[in-house]
Amino acid sequence: MELKLDVLKKMVRSIATTAPHEIGCDECFNEIDRFVELELQGKKPAEAMPLVQAHLDRCMNCREEYEALLDAIKACQ
C-alpha cells in the first residue's frame, strides 16, 4: 500500500500539533451539544471549552457532527 504525499503530510502535521492535554472523538462528541448551546446563547464556546474547540479544529469528522447539529437546531428555531 502506497501512502500519498498529501496524506502523509496530514499525518505528520497531526502528530506535530498533538498537545499533552487533548480529548478524543468520544469525549468531544459527548460535549458537542453543550458547545452548540453556548454558541446559540451568544457566548464564546471556544473560551469556555478550549479542548473541544481544539479537537474540532483538528478533526473533520467531529467538526462535521458539530456543524450538522448547529444547523439542525438553527433550522428548528
Q: What is the mean pLDDT of residues 8-17?
A: 66
> Does pTM surpass 0.85?
no
The count of residues in the chain is 77
Task: List CB contacts of 12: < 8 A, sequence separation 6 or more.
Answer: none
Q: What is the pLDDT of residues 18-60, one digit of tens each?
A: 566 789 999 999 999 999 999 999 999 999 999 999 999 999 9
C-alpha cell belonging to residue 41: 446563547
Mark out the alpha helices in 17-77 (DSSP H runs): 25-40, 45-48, 50-58, 60-76
Distance CA 38, CA 31 (A): 11
More confident: 57 or 7:
57
